[in-house]
Amino acid sequence: MRILQTFESTIISRDDEHLALSSIFVPVDVSIKGGLALAEELGSNEWVDARPDQIPIFIALGLEREALMLAEGQGTEQLLHEPKEQNVSDKRSLEFAREAFYQPLIPLTQSPLALDSLSKLVKVAGIGAVVGFIAVAGYPMVLIAVPAGIILCGAATGIAKALDHGLRERLLILLREHPRQDGKKRKA
């Protein structure tokens, strides 16, 4: 029997309860898939290509959207567009997102368990990385596909709700159908 495993991590701000970011690392072989194909397998019919420098801005906008949804019961539906820094109204969200993007906080499979930064994973993977913005069950997140697997990252409440609305099952199907063959961490 072969055991398959995903890694989920939540990063929170000590100073602001609304600043919480979740990431899911799934060690799958996605070398044959493009961004839209991956997005569709995860239950999103939306895909927006992204540059690495846009990721912290998109994360900050997602954090703000989730805070609005919690406070007012509604959010902005036009989040999947080219993110611009001037659209971020709370600079604490952007500061938190940048720190989460550049600090080694994402667990990766290797022995012992190691942490890495999203920025390093994208940079090291270079041309082999697929980076984009998707929405699963209406919740925005960043999708990063590197040779080591895929990483989904977004506001903690949004990731949790997307997992409850079918994302977990889709991730497990992807993991069963496309497991990494070597069982080891590949260089991202």
Confidence of residue 73 (pLDDT cuts 50, 70, 90): low
Confidence of residue 177 (pLDDT cuts 50, 70, 90): confident
What pLDDT is stored for residue 113 in this prediction? Answer: 60
What pLDDT is stored for residue 182 in this prediction? Answer: 58
As a whole number, mean pLDDT of residues 23-42 equals 84
What pLDDT is stored for residue 139 in this prediction? Answer: 87
pLDDT of 187 above 60 = no
pLDDT of 108 above 70 = no
Percent of the chain with pLDDT over 90: 19
Confidence of residue 64 (pLDDT cuts 50, 70, 90): confident
- Torsion angles phi and psi, residue 153, rounded to 5: -145, 135
Rounded distance, CA 167 to CA 165, Å?
6
The overall average pLDDT reported for the chain is 80
Rounded distance, CA 130 to CA 109, Å?
19
What pLDDT is stored for residue 68 in this prediction? Answer: 74
122-131 contact pairs (CB < 8 A, 24+): 122/52, 122/55, 122/146, 123/52, 124/187, 124/188, 125/188, 129/188, 130/30, 130/33, 130/34, 130/35, 130/38, 131/35, 131/49, 131/50, 131/51, 131/52, 131/55
What pLDDT is stored for residue 165 in this prediction? Answer: 93
Count helices and strands (H / E) in the chain: 6, 8
Rounded distance, CA 130 to CA 149, Å?
11
Confidence of residue 70 (pLDDT cuts 50, 70, 90): low
Compute CA distances 69 → 27, 75, 96, 138, 173, whole Å.
31, 5, 19, 12, 30
Confidence of residue 32 (pLDDT cuts 50, 70, 90): low
Q: What is the CA radius of gyration of the chain?
A: 15
| 112 cis-preceded (ω within 30 degrees of 0) | yes
- Torsion angles phi and psi, residue 185, rounded to 5: -70, 125
pLDDT of 13 above 80 = yes
What pLDDT is stored for residue 76 in this prediction? Answer: 44
What pLDDT is stored for residue 185 in this prediction? Answer: 42
